[in-house]
Structure 1
């Protein structure tokens, strides 16, 4: 199988590339390297370009002719999306429309799209499955929901087969230690905890301890990044099994939640020392609990996370942070 990974130099994209390579597939990457890292991908054909420009993605689609296109090229900082919504709708929404039009022109009909639990907005139940209402509370979530709607329309009207995967908290790093999570700025909890542990930050800031949870701290569902990548390949298999053009939608999460303080304590156990913490006021609009209902992916795709334990997820990330290469 020939795969084209859009945004393949980013955190999740680079893990997808490695997963595809290990499975023996031919892989190419299309990336503008605005946030991705060249050092994160190796032994792969690289196309550098802007997804918003049809003139830059079209030659790749027509020349490489992938069997599967995987899209990871979104901007994903919630706060930034509220300050600069134009950036998010241009990069995320318009970029996906350009890709879909290119795939249609060149008769490419297999797409797996990385989406987000941010499309659900403020949770109405403690465990969120795919039937939960979508009501984003930030521009990032809206941009992803618009993309999902476009993809569904293209499946219905033009014969596209697509799977949309709504991630909860992607975490960890490849156990090899060669690739990991390196954002600037870094907004995710586990890498920020480990940055403090390794001395790249003075402390980790925790927002609020008065949430409606078992210990007062926010609870989130953490899923290992390699388990996410595995789900993409299973989704491709499911698209190939479908009798007709199809739109498929799956949540991806472990189905269990850990509080911020539980993550901190687990990280301290992994690194073997206390990690400095600073308590700050809770952030407006921060849901107390976000936990995935991922039974659909388990039953239909046959997907089972291989690294579900929090301490193992953190241990893979810790190896990366100690040996960080980019």
Structure 2
């Protein structure tokens, strides 16, 4: 293999959609073209199904993988330098053991970081679908291994937060009263974060690995779904929870879109999200949800009053959440 990077290619890019992957033969791909796997959504925007392109280098068909990270928006518990170094080391390990990965290159531009490498597609692969499956198996192994490290770091951090957090000493009735009566936004956010975290922690198999309050009065919680119960077991590995700690207006279209982007940015590991609003939901929230109802992401709206009612009436948390889940799928 040469040491030419993907960025130096000056070839035509051919876009192939998911339905045509198994119909497109590798031998029919022009030597001077690159293949991008993307699907056209209803809104006219292409959604990439692979981080990179496919094409020929000399006589070997390859997947040219490109991982790009932006420091400004990095919020995972394991810092970006450790995250990308682990991915690079895993790629190097795969290259040394299986000889099907080469030309590993890392570049740190300051704001952006890039990790590029080539996956050598075996000669047995006949179609672009075969090539995508082979490449994705390698990418999934690398990303799942790094995700496990991220979850481990997040679990340790969350354990410290829970242990050394004064709100964790409050009994549920006192905590709910604090949420209802707090007048200071920061105090309200602190109590609300604890309440929401406790609620989802009570669902068997839900492990909170990340919880934080932002400067925009949001509470973000990330849950690892280890549930054995059949209803939740079929859901995604990660579940996101966002709570809007607004005291004057309901959540609307903009909040829906922003939360949806958070789900999409979890590399396909998060397909389910719960959106809790302290002041309910505007009509535009539901309309935007209907507009995206064909997608495979599900956002379940839950009014804070409804969550508190479940707790105060000592109802079954999992069963009650299932009701809201079903409502969200049948709108």
Task: Determine which structure has greater relative contact order: mean sequence separation of CA pairs < 8 Å that are 6+ residues apart, divided by chain length.
Answer: 1
